A and B are shown apart, each in its own frame.
Chain A
Amino acid sequence: MAGHRCIELVPQAVTVEVLDHLEQLALVDFRDAEGVERLRKAIQFADQLHEVNTDGVEPMDSVLEDRCLYLREDDVTEGNCANELLKNAREKVEEYFVAPPGNIPLPKLEERETFLKGS
């Protein structure tokens, strides 16, 4: 795992714990020092936002905020397409998607690399 090897590259705020947490949340890994460096640069770039005075400014979610957006009636209008939808799944049994065993957290940081090896 990248985290502990290249900690000197990342700003104070991004600790190994944060990197670990991000990998768990994102379910993607930094892969190498370059990946961590990429995050560091992205944060540095984003930090320019703090030069802007936004006192009293409301956050903007959507440019259509002043309009009434369309909500359709809560009726079933289509369906019965389970077979078609299942066609794109690699593993299934009858009408079910099949997942590997659940409730097993990703291994700890230092074990993760060997764990994911071969993928």
Chain B
Amino acid sequence: MKAAASLADLDTFAELGSVGSGQPLGVLDGIPIAVKDNFNTAGIETTCASNMLKGYISPYNATVVQKLLDQGAVLLGKTNLDEFAMGSGSTDGVFGPVRNPWSYSRQYKEKYVPKSFSEDGESNWVITGGSSGGSAAAVSSFTCFAALGSDTGGSTRNPAAHCGVVGLKPTYGLISRHGLIPLVNSMDVPGILTRCVDDAAVVLGSLAGHDPKDSTTIQDNFKPFELPDLPDVSKLSIGIPKEYQAPGLSSEILALWSKAADLFKHAGAKVTEVSLPHTRYSIVCYHVLCTAEVASNMARFDGLEYGHRSDMNKSTESMYAATRREGFNDVVRGRILSGNYFLLKQNYENYFIKAQKVRRLIANDFLKVFRSGVDILLTPTTLSDAVPYIEFLKEDNRTRSAQDDILTQAANMAGLPAINVPAALSERGLPIGLQFIGRSFQEKQLLTVAKWFEKQVKFPMIQLEEVKRHNHDVFQHQRSASFS
């Protein structure tokens, strides 16, 4: 499925696990995990799915990777993504697109194309969303229990929604970014993809906390937590931001969203409509800040110290230019050029500073709502379920990202924790997720609400034809499943 960008070689595999030592290393001992290929892994290639970094071997582990290994996790492989995590489909990487495992599920095959579906699903397979599509696919297809993604504008939550898994974007500053190849420094956070909310809490517990190597991690002590078995939401105030009823939101997601609100109401929670008036401009603001920071971050790739280097040898400048022409795809080059445009002396105030001001308005919208007593916001994660790859290609990357990040990037602008929880299957038999957004550093409350919701909806397990034959009983048992 091209979910994996590279496989950890077996020697490393044996070294990393505690195989044979007899002593468990930590809570993740022996647990198979996957890591998005924009986190540095010592001795294992890190490519960002770009020609620019093909063959690049980092001399060190990203802090989050090191923490997982310290807890005994076993790294199965590095996962595919959009080149440099710039995209929302996992279709724009140099290794090719990631296929959504649900394309091969009984649920999708039965509901969407009962007769004409060709055996290999060549024309009907759907995208994973992105940019952490490989990680979402790996978790969704039972390849691993947990995977690291990254989330700048929704890159963990979007593929989580499309692949029917839990995707947590923690508060900015809670988890170290050291060794995560940066996209937008002021918004990037490592993301966590798992099959259930409890697992996300366990992984969060292993990752969170101050890192001297990342000055933007906060120094407060983080206490790992377990979630209550019977979460109580009756004293909570849930806000439904009306602006998230965005143009293009599918009617079935809208219906699911309101059904979810009713669930909370019936459980005794206070559910109110709230307003985040600047939401409409958030994606525009994101676009300017993102490209500006990308332009700056991508300046490091010059061919001299690491990564691809062109054969062009006439001058340093021409070698730089040729290296970057050969190394970056159209999307990356386009964002670098736009970003440089917004940062030009004559445009700086008009675009970059302007966007930073709008960013404050967006962050303030959230502050106001939370100050008014709302604990958690409930929104859709995506506008629709996953589209077939051939459909997805019809729009360009910028247009796609503007549509696909629309419901997710505002949480990044404000630095807030947010989580996708799989909620139901669409009419086409594909996963739909809903998003909860919490207060800064209130991950426990956010995950508690998410777990309660997860228990209510009983999202159906993916029924992969291959797996089903072997685990028939398990699937029979889990089949209960329908939200509606």
Query: Within the assembled complex, what's the spacing in Å between the Cα atoms of A31 and B299?
Result: 18
Q: Closest chain B residue to A67 by CB distance? A: B218
Q: Which listed residue (A31, A61, A118) contacts B356, Cβ 8 A?
A: A61
Q: Which of A85-117 contact B (CB under 8 A)?
A: 85, 87-91, 97, 99-102, 104-106, 115-116
Query: Within the assembled complex, what's the spacing in Å between the Cα atoms of A38 and B305?
Result: 30
The reply to whether the CB of B306 lies closer than 8 angstroms to some CB of chain A is yes
Residues of A within 8 A of B396 (CB): 38
The 0/1 profile, CB within 8 Å of B marked 1, for residues 17-34 of chain A is 010011101111111001
Q: Which listed residue (B287, B321, B333, B360) contacts A59, Cβ 8 A?
A: B360
Interface size on B, residues (CB 8 A): 74
Could you tell me if A62 and B186 are in contact, using CB atoms closer than 8 angstroms?
A: yes
Q: Which of B314-357 contact A (CB under 8 A)?
A: 314-322, 324-326, 328, 330, 333-334, 336-338, 340-342, 344, 350-351, 353-357
Could you tell me if A49 and B363 are in contact, using CB atoms closer than 8 angstroms?
A: no
Given contacts A30-B337, A60-B363, A50 and B354 within 8 Å (CB-CB):
yes
Of listed B319, B328, B358, residue having the most chain A CB within 10 A: B358
Interface of B is mostly: helix
Could you tell me if A27 and B337 are in contact, using CB atoms closer than 8 angstroms?
A: no
Interface residues on A, range: 35 or more
Q: Which listed residue (B287, B328, B353) contacts A42, Cβ 8 A?
A: B287
The reply to whether the CB of A63 lies closer than 8 angstroms to some CB of chain B is yes
Given contacts A39-B337, A46-B287, A64-B172, A104 and B310 within 8 Å (CB-CB):
no
Given contacts A35-B337, A45-B402, A89-B305, A64 and B312 within 8 Å (CB-CB):
no
Q: Which listed residue (B288, B333, B356) contacts A35, Cβ 8 A?
A: B333
The reply to whether the CB of B392 lies closer than 8 angstroms to some CB of chain A is no
Residues of A within 8 A of B333 (CB): 26, 28-29, 31, 35
The reply to whether the CB of A54 lies closer than 8 angstroms to some CB of chain B is yes
Query: Within the assembled complex, what's the spacing in Å between the Cα atoms of A27 and B357?
Result: 29
The reply to whether the CB of A76 lies closer than 8 angstroms to some CB of chain B is no
The reply to whether the CB of B429 lies closer than 8 angstroms to some CB of chain A is no
Given contacts A43-B338, A52-B281, A72-B212, A116 and B321 within 8 Å (CB-CB):
yes
The reply to whether the CB of B393 lies closer than 8 angstroms to some CB of chain A is no
Q: Which listed residue (B210, B295, B321) contacts A29, Cβ 8 A?
A: B321
The reply to whether the CB of A12 lies closer than 8 angstroms to some CB of chain B is no
Interface residues of B (CB under 8 A from A): 56-57, 59, 172-173, 186, 210, 212, 215-219, 278, 281, 284-285, 287-288, 291, 295, 299, 302-307, 309-322, 324-326, 328, 330, 333-334, 336-338, 340-342, 344, 350-351, 353-361, 363, 396, 398, 402, 414-415, 440
